[in-house]
Amino acid sequence: MTRTMVVSLAFTVWAFLAAINAFGEGSAQWPSPPNFVVILVDDLGWTDLGCMGSTYYETPHIDRLAAEGILFTNGYAAAAVCSPTRAALLTGRYPARLGVTDWIRPWWVIGRLSPEDRNPTEYVGGPNDKLLCPPNAFFMELGEITIAELLKPAGYVTAHIGKWHLGQEPHYPTKQGFDINIGGCDLGSPPRYFDPYQTRRQGEIVSIPTLPPRKEGEYLTDREADEAAAFIRANKDRPFYLQVWHYCVHTPLQAKPEVEKRYAEKTPTHHKNPTYAAMIESVDDAVGRILATLEECGLSEKTLIIFTSDNGGLLGPTDNRPLRLGKGYPYEGGIRVPWIARWKGVITPGQRSDVPISTIDVLPTVAELAGVPLPGDRPIDGKSLVPLLLRKGEFPERALFWHFPHYRGEVVPYSVVRFGSWKLIRFYEDDRWELYNLEADLGETTDLSLTQPEKLRELKQIMEEFLRETGARLPRPNPNYRPKQGTAS
């Protein structure tokens, strides 16, 4: 029996039991299964929006989204880098469980893959690395069940638009349940932001193979918005799941010159890069285009929109203050991101929630609202956000986790747990621990690991249990380690 047949059979049985249960209990909690639009921005920082406090970046459409829905101030990405967060969003499972814990390298780094290729398993490390680390995955395994595959038995049409970054052609969105793929491939950043979206790498032309050029000079984010609008119009009379995963605001920093010029004339704050600001404005324009299309088609009250980022803002292009550091790091600047949900007429507008939530929560939320069962043959780490969105029922208190067993520039392998207002970071290279109280110290300036031994012990146990239960791959001592000259061992 194929995986699709198993999912379909599970849905049929679950729907039958749910119907019996609903008949006994009365009407559902929401009008009907909605459409879904999930907007994921690449590298957008926590404060990179007007509704999150920026006075330099201009985001009126996204601000409207927050005003008409719920803004989560403790929203997190499942990782501090992109591919793991994307895999976690699609599956509701932690990157540590998936084995996708770092960003996936493109074809010109790892070579072109065939359907028979497997993910590497051998640990890696150079002589100057104190630890040997698990290898980077080449792709998310096809055995994972995605949101698109869950929704298919319920009659949803599904589309992916924009950045995928979860593997080469044998692992494109259409191999993971999506009916339509526009722009999704193995690239982590676009060759360039202007049509024909091409550049050269190692003597070869690199392009987005699933996004044919159509109008020279067209800006990529505008093209993504246009494709999203066309999809909504074409499917306005049937349930749909649309994910728009923008390549913006990832490097290369390229923006429309006329928009960039306007920001260059603005008074800077700690946000001051006019090119980056113009890229954010293009994302905001795309959100406005999607909102306008939903209204045009009479779908605003039939559609849940989720807006978030795949990791914290990249240092240099932006500044994540008051959060510490940025993309790649275990501190809040690397993992805390904008998080907004709007379902007009259903979610009470103007809400702010400080409940910690994560990318892993998207799949169970979509599943509950669509009336489809979660996979029963594997752990799902996320929790449905329906109690928070609809203000009905209790949302469970739980710990959130991050696991990055790799070297990345000056970042060394780490794991993180947040429970309540407390956050613990373990750095594997020297087995160092840092403990912070985020409620009192959002900027993570004061390490409390030596003054709060009981809390340190409690969070250590929670982290260790998580690592055991998920089968997380941990770094190992490098038997051939040789410190660089002038470096302490």
**Which residues are tagged catalytic?**
82, 165
CA-nearest of 405, 330, 362, 413 to 80 is 330
**Contact (CB, 8 A) for 163 and 188:** yes
**Contact (CB, 8 A) for 216 and 154:** no
Quick one: which H or E segment has residue 193? none
- Measured distance CA(343)–CA(443) in Å, rounded: 32
**Contact (CB, 8 A) for 45 and 249:** no
- Measured distance CA(162)–CA(140) in Å, rounded: 17
All residues at 6 or more sequence positions from 188 whose CB lies less than 8 Å from its CB, including other chains: 82, 83, 103, 104, 106, 163, 165, 250
Structure tokens at 461: 């146990």
**Contact (CB, 8 A) for 287 and 326:** no
C-alpha pair distances (Å), 38 with each of 100, 112, 352, 361, 382: 21, 30, 19, 12, 16
**Contact (CB, 8 A) for 187 and 163:** yes
204-210 contacts at long range (C-beta below 8 A, 24 or more positions apart): 204/108, 206/108, 208/183, 209/169, 209/185, 210/172, 210/181, 210/182, 210/183, 210/184, 210/185
- Measured distance CA(19)–CA(25) in Å, rounded: 10
Please state at what angle helix 60-67 crosses helix 274-296, rounded to 10 degrees: 50
Give the pairing of strands 198-201 and 339-342: unpaired
Residues constituting the chain: 489
**Contact (CB, 8 A) for 69 and 85:** no
- Measured distance CA(413)–CA(427) in Å, rounded: 6
Give the pairing of strands 399-404 and 422-427: unpaired
C-alpha pair distances (Å), 177 with each of 120, 170, 227, 329, 410: 24, 13, 19, 32, 37
Question: Within 13 Å of residue 360, how many CA atoms lie on the same side as its CB?
Answer: 22
Structure tokens at 399: 């710990």
